[in-house]
Amino acid sequence: MNESEQNQEPVVEQAEHFDHLNWLKTFDDLSFKEKWHKVFEGLKAPKNSGQYKYAKLQMIRLSAPVASIIVPILMILILMVFSQIQPPPRPQVEVQIIEPEPIEKLDDIDDIIEQPPDPIEMDFTPTDHVGPVMDNSAVTPGPEADFSPQPASFDSVAMVKSPVIMKGIYGSRSPGSRGSALGQYGGSGATEGAVLRALRWLKKEQRPNGSWAGTGATAMTGLALLTYLAHGETPTSVEFGETVEKAIRYLVDASDDRGQLAVFAGNYDIPISTYALCEAYALTKVPMIKEAAERNMKYIIEGQNAHGSFNYNCRGDRSDLSYAGWCYQAIKAGLMAELEVPGLEEARKKGIMGCKAHSNGVGFGYGLKSCSALTGVGVLCMQLFGAAREPEVRAGLAYMANWRISWTEKVQGSIYHWYYITQAKFHEGGETWNSWNKQFSPELVRTQIVIPKAILGPTGKMEDIGYWEGPEINKGHSGGLVMDTSMCAMMLQVYYRYLPTFKKPEEMDVQENIISDDEINIEIAS
């Protein structure tokens, strides 16, 4: 490029720049219409030219005043339009107010009707097959317990609640019924206090595997468990639930497929453990317990001899009323629990014949046609089997009319015999029971050996425990402290353990199934 050409280019740029400035200067002097005309002309210019760019800028400047007026007016108009629009109606839900139906009044709990009960007693005849008594020489007897001939207020007795409500033959074992039965049949706060101390002593003495020590651990465990069941205690009970459950498990595990006992240690283990399992099933309805009870019951039924009695181990023709008494009680408990074992009812009928075979017309004895302190066994078992008005029973009650218990004087029998006598006289009722109750219960309360503040109770404070040891002067037939304590406690539970059998002979046919009125209903309280 020559020098002349280089000098010409800035002249053009300066001319354009000059024109642009003149255009800007004169734009302000134009009218509004002329300004828009200039803008339109500038917009037609090349896009990279200054006129085009300036036209766009001026278009924005010219439109700003209009926008400042028009836009607010448009917004106001829009808002006015929307304010006039009605929103769609909301869907309406119809609400219906339903008047509550009146709650039906629940039926009152029926009063327990006196009907044939089923006490369970234990018999050990004067024989040499019972083991030695446990040594308790280190324990000092506690103070005598107060006893009132008049039934104390049941509210004064600390009771353990259980969620199980029992009707029928076991009706009085429920917490709400024990107090009523105590007052009705001659118990008191003193007798029930002794029972609770015994239950706490047994709890403290239970071994980790659920058993108790003594002559035959399985038999002793059965006796202790019967004592808890007599009080209405089940595995759900607050204070004794764990104790009961461990005992039941021990007895269930002890039974093998043949109905014998894997831990068989003595002649009485089979009937006593079966007896306890039957009651445990009746109060809990746990199928596992029923299966074990039925296995054992089958073994017992098969062992009943031609006389209707039993020999040791439920085998042999020999008849032993002490051993048979346990089998009879187990049979009765099996009927009450409604076990499904062939021959169970027939065994009851044969049992009446077996009891009669042990009577000599005056009382009942260890062998056939004999008479001894086992009279209470024969009388009670016939009562349980529905034969309470048979001549042998009437003669036996007369034979025991003046018997009593004592720890200091020589009298007929021992704790074992007194246990059966207490049950037999309770089921006879009337003056027979009243006179016996006035004598035996104060003696038992007085002779309990009490250990103060020995176990933690359900309320968090230390509680007394208590046990019994058979009197030296009237000892005999004892399997140890567990046996003595269990039987004495069950004697003091006689008021509510079973309902008394007060039916007359014309009301009870000994050949009929006498458990028809003894239905067992388990209801869970809400």
Domain co-membership, 278 together with 379? yes
Among residues 473, 345, 330, the alpha carbon closest in space to that of 412 is found at: 473
For residue 308, is it within any domain? Answer: yes
For residue 5, is it within any domain? Answer: no
- pTM listed for this prediction: 0.67
**HEC letters along 171-225:** HHHCHHHHHHHHHHHCCCHHHHHHHHHHHHHHHHHCCCCCCCCCCCHHHHHHHHH
Domain co-membership, 174 together with 73? no
For residue 130, is it within any domain? Answer: no
Which of these three, 66, 83, 100, is where a domain ends?
A: 83
Domain co-membership, 75 together with 224? no
Domain co-membership, 301 together with 209? yes
The single-letter DSSP state of residue 359 is B
Which of these three, 36, 60, 83, is where a domain ends?
A: 83
Q: Tokens 């746990």 sit at which residue?
A: 286
For residue 101, is it within any domain? Answer: no
Which of these three, 37, 55, 83, is where a domain ends?
A: 83
Look over the chain and give the mean of its residue pLDDT values, rounded to a whole number: 77
For residue 96, is it within any domain? Answer: no
Domain of 316, CATH number, reads 1.50.10.20
Among residues 377, 385, 502, the alpha carbon closest in space to that of 124 is found at: 377
Domain co-membership, 407 together with 518? yes
Backbone torsions φ then ψ of 394, nearest 5 degrees: -65, -40
Domain co-membership, 53 together with 186? no
Domain co-membership, 277 together with 402? yes
For residue 113, is it within any domain? Answer: no
Domain co-membership, 299 together with 217? yes
Read off the tokens for 3.
């020098």
Expressed as residue numbers, the domain containing 160 is: 154-524
Domain co-membership, 355 together with 450? yes
CA distance 474 to 414: 5
Domain co-membership, 206 together with 330? yes
| pLDDT at res. 102 | 53
One-character DSSP codes across 391-460: HHHHHHHHHTTT----SSS--SS-HHHHHHHHHHHHHH-HHHHHHHHHHHHHHHHHH-EEEEEEEE-TTS
Number of domains in the chain: 2
List % helix, strand, coil for the chain (3-state, nearest 5). Answer: 50, 5, 45
| pLDDT at res. 151 | 34
Domain co-membership, 359 together with 476? yes
Residues in the chain with pLDDT values less than 50? 2-21, 23-24, 93, 95, 97-98, 100, 103-167, 262-265, 502-526
Domain co-membership, 331 together with 223? yes
For residue 11, is it within any domain? Answer: no
Angle value at C-alpha 245, between 248 and 176, nearest 5 degrees: 110
For residue 104, is it within any domain? Answer: no
